[in-house]
Amino acid sequence: MSETQPAAGGPDDERIKEIGGLRTWLIRPELGGIVGVITVFVFFGILAGDSGMFNPQGILNWSQVSAQFMIIAVGACMLMVAGEFDLSVGSMIGFAGISIAMFGVVWGLPMWIAILITFVICIAIGAINGLIVVRTGLPSFIVTLAFLFILRGFTIFIPQTVESRTIIGGIEDAAEGDWLASIFSADIMQWLFVLMADWGWIDTFTRGTREGEPVVTGIPMLIVWALVLVVVGHTILTRTRYGNWIFAAGGDAQAARYVGVPVDRVKISMFMVTAFCSTVFACCQVFEFGTAAADRGILKEFEAIIAVVIGGALLTGGYGSVVGAALGAIIFGVVQQGLFFAGVENSLFRVFLGVILLFAVILNTYVRRIITGER
Amino acid sequence: MNSFFKTVAVTAVAAAALMGGTAVQAEGERYILVSHAPDSDSWWNTIRNALALAGEQMGVEVEYRNPPTGDIADMARIIEQAAASGPDGIITTLADPDVLGDSITAAVDAGIDVIIMNSGTPDQAREVGALMYVGQPEYDAGYAAGLRAAGDGVTSFLCVNHVISNPVVAERCSGFADGLGVDLGDSMIDAGQDPAEIQNRVIAYLNANPDTDGILTLGPTSADPTILALEEMGLAGDIYFGTFDLGENIVAGIRDGVIQWGIDQQPFLQAYLPVVVLTNYHRYGVLPGNNINSGPGFITADGLEMVEALAGEYR
């Protein structure tokens, strides 16, 4: 994107077509996401405006759920732009959580070492995923589907064999005072919320041991991680040469190879990024709730892909945006939680979720096609 | 193109109409029941029926919520969300106190009355600040079942666990083993949720351990395929078979002599009583002083008619 040579880019150069400012903005992949986010907020503002969805606790609730989607969507998005899929995301979340618990609690290593080992193992598994895909030429759909089962199997087998249980608690005690664990679990900017509670802007607990404390104590690191990953991912994808390589590898791998893009390396690295994101998700979950369980993360791979697709990425690769995926995650999170707040009956909730997701994707696709004249 | 948009519009309108239909505001208090059950677990149907009935009888608004995949971390978010919507009371299970404890305590601290039902113990309920626990102490129920089976001459058993991820449910197996006076060892198998898989695993286990003379299943999800497995192996009625919970097939099994007894924890009461207790507490300030044991009650071939008529609906 930033590689255009200034000398060849003069006004008379027939290779460069003038595009108006509005049009440049309209053909961005994020457009559908932006429209969707506005739509869902208006929708739920009307439907659930007075239900607690927009009080501090409610906002924190759907923000946290959206942030969860966002963390895995960043990885899934970059991988999808590079032309591949990862169906092992959900299993990787369960696997990483159990790994932290096994090393940190069962085998008693310091928590920061347990976390680092887990990151190394998971990223290595991501690399293996990628290596198998590029070496064999098999669809990543199949390879990562295999890893969905392999990882889930180990996630149940290892704690069952060693500890004869599939939920490992005691992580809170083991992580007490650990510098690395706190990066995943702390609430930041607590002073701001205490201040807001003092001003009467947000509610406080009315009884119990936390009486007088604000109901929202701070911004969870989960949300910070989500934002950091979005910013870093977006910067890499749009502002660096590596980002161009990712687009090229996903758009037309053969053409990219001809111009010297190390396609295989790019794809493998994106599998590693996806694994990294899953592990971040697992860390946030494990240190927030204090236990790791073998059934965590079921179906999360599809939720990541849904967020990415709502966010405007093409399933075929080569087109997409991390910001779009983040907006998709917000839409998904807000719809999922908002329907609860709107009092929709639980079993119908998934019907509406499906309808709204379908509607968002259709809207996304048609708006883009109509405006860009794309066929 | 036009007809396409028309379809989309009609769908949206239909969805909005349905949504309006379900969001009707009832008079009075609002209570939310949060369970840990995945969508696939049909046992919770009784809970939902009882909840709806209690809401209707007491004139309060009731809602049922659950994590679709049974993920307890997702359930914690649902409890936080329920609390944020400011109901008068939350009725919830305590499937994993480590995960759910903070969310429930925060709800209690925010002024919402909480009753723990189904999973958990009276002690755990007190720890999270709940008003009371309504349910069946799982270990005790398993222990009682073990004593009964020992009295009937059982010496070794298979425990078919379809919710291996829920440690509270697994206590039924360990209680049973202790009541029986044998070591749990490898007697408990992780059966999974799929009927065909459960059936095959039971067959495989019984083939590998031919001297097994007792079977304990932990609910209809594991009991129904186990009945089929025993029929396939020609062991139906031959092997001592007890189960937790009821369902149509279990009731039929008891009638046919395939199942010796079913332990009814009476899910009806677990959903119904908290609504009644909370409503009366909020309207008149009255509150029972103790936790309520909804079970265990052994259901045998005697007096099966009413159970049979209502199995899977209110029993």
Q: DSSP letters along A302-343, please?
A: HHHHHHHHHTT--TTSS---HHHHHHHHHHHHHHHHHHHHTT
Q: What are phi and psi of A13, to 5 degrees?
A: -70, 115
Residues of chain A positioned with their CB less than 8 A from the CB of B111: 205-207
Q: Locate tokens 């255009």: which residue? A: A4
Q: Which residues are CB-contacts of A333 (< 8 A; sequence separation ≥ 6)? A: A62, A63, A65, A66, A67, A68, A69
Structural tokens at position B298: 């052994």
Task: Specify the higher pLDDT residue, A240 or B304.
Answer: A240
- What is the pLDDT, as a whole number, of residue B36? 92
CB B50 within 8 A of CB B272: yes
**Could A351 and B15 be called an inter-chain contact, meaning their C-beta atoms sit closer than 8 Å?**
yes
Cis status of the peptide bond prior to A214, with omega within 30 of 0: no
- Max mean pLDDT among A210-219, A267-276, A280-289, B257-266 falls in A267-276
Chain B contact present for A218, CB below 8 A: no
Share of chain B above pLDDT 90, in %: 51
* C-alpha to C-alpha distance for A311 and A326, rounded to whole angstroms: 7
Query: Tens of pLDDT along B28-70?
Result: 899 999 999 888 777 888 899 999 999 999 999 999 999 888 8
Find the range with the poorest average confidence among A10-19, B177-186, B197-206.
Answer: A10-19
Q: Has this prediction a pTM greater than 0.95? A: no
Chain B contact present for A124, CB below 8 A: no
Residues of chain B positioned with their CB less than 8 A from the CB of A347: 39
**Residue B95's closest CA among B177, B164, B49, B160?**
B164
- What is the pLDDT, as a whole number, of residue B286? 93
Q: Which residues are CB-contacts of B146 (< 8 A; sequence separation ≥ 6)? A: B175, B176, B177, B178, B179, B180, B181
Query: Tens of pLDDT along A42-57?
Result: 988 988 888 888 888 8
pLDDT surpasses 80 at B172: yes
Q: Locate tokens 């996304």: which residue? A: A364
Pick B84's closest partner by Cβ from A57, A206, A348.
A57
Tell me what the pLDDT averaged over chain B comes to.
Answer: 86
Q: DSSP letters along A1-52, please?
A: -----GGG--TT-TT-----HHHHHHTSTTHHHHHHHHHHHHHHHHHHTTTT
Beta strands B89-92 and B292-293, pairing class: unpaired
B4 falls in which pLDDT band (50, 70, 90)?
Answer: low
**Could B70 and A160 be called an inter-chain contact, meaning their C-beta atoms sit closer than 8 Å?**
no
**Residue B218's closest CA among B294, B269, B292, B157?**
B157
B80 falls in which pLDDT band (50, 70, 90)?
Answer: very high
Query: Tens of pLDDT along A105-146?
Result: 999 999 999 999 999 999 999 999 999 999 999 999 999 999
B9 falls in which pLDDT band (50, 70, 90)?
Answer: low
Q: DSSP letters along B132-165, please?
A: EEEE--HHHHHHHHHHHHHHTT---EEEEES-TT
Task: Specify the higher pLDDT residue, B130 or A354.
Answer: B130
Q: Locate tokens 């206590």: which residue? A: B171
Query: Tens of pLDDT along A85-111?
Result: 899 999 999 999 999 999 999 999 999
* C-alpha to C-alpha distance for B59 and B30, rounded to whole angstroms: 10
B155 falls in which pLDDT band (50, 70, 90)?
Answer: very high
B2 falls in which pLDDT band (50, 70, 90)?
Answer: low
Structural tokens at position A196: 């807001």
**Could B77 and A61 be called an inter-chain contact, meaning their C-beta atoms sit closer than 8 Å?**
yes
* C-alpha to C-alpha distance for A353 and A344, rounded to whole angstroms: 11
Q: Which residues pair with B157 in a beta bridge?
A: B214
What is the number of other CB atoms lying within 10 angstroms of the CB of residue B48?
20
Q: Which residues are CB-contacts of B241 (< 8 A; sequence separation ≥ 6)? A: B214, B215, B217, B226, B230, B253, B258, B259, B260
pLDDT surpasses 80 at A224: yes
Single-letter residue type at A23:
R
Eight-class DSSP state of A214? B
pLDDT surpasses 90 at A79: yes
Q: DSSP letters along A120-150, please?
A: HHHHHHHHHHHHHHHHH---HHHHHHHHHHH
**Could B23 and A343 be called an inter-chain contact, meaning their C-beta atoms sit closer than 8 Å?**
yes
Q: How far is CA A165 from CA A168, A293, B302, in A?
A: 7, 9, 38
SS3 state at B307: helix
**Could A346 and B66 be called an inter-chain contact, meaning their C-beta atoms sit closer than 8 Å?**
yes
> What interface predicted TM-score (ipTM) does this complex get?
0.77
* C-alpha to C-alpha distance for B25 and B33, rounded to whole angstroms: 17
Report the pLDDT averaged over residues B86-105.
Answer: 92
Find the range with the poorest average confidence among A156-160, A198-202, B25-29, B151-155.
Answer: B25-29
Q: Locate tokens 């660096």: which residue? A: A240
Distance linking the first and last C-alpha atoms of chain B = 51
Query: Tens of pLDDT along B109-142?
Result: 989 999 999 988 889 999 999 999 999 888 889 9
- What is the pLDDT, as a whole number, of residue B20? 42
- What is the pLDDT, as a whole number, of residue A252? 87
Q: How far is CA B270 from CA A93, B40, B55, B59, B132, in A?
A: 33, 20, 14, 18, 12
pLDDT surpasses 90 at A277: yes
- What is the pLDDT, as a whole number, of residue B24? 38
Task: Specify the higher pLDDT residue, A259 or A7.
Answer: A259
Pick A52's closest partner by Cβ from B66, B77, B85.
B85
Residues on B contacting A at a C-beta cutoff of 8 Å: 8, 11-12, 15, 18-19, 22-23, 39, 63-66, 68-73, 76-78, 80-86, 96, 98-99, 102, 105-106, 108-111, 129, 164-165, 167, 190
Where are the extended beta strands (E) located within chain B? 30-34, 61-65, 89-92, 113-118, 132-135, 157-161, 188-190, 214-217, 240-244, 261-264, 292-293, 297-299
Chain B contact present for A217, CB below 8 A: no
pLDDT surpasses 60 at B6: no
* C-alpha to C-alpha distance for A72 and A276, rounded to whole angstroms: 9
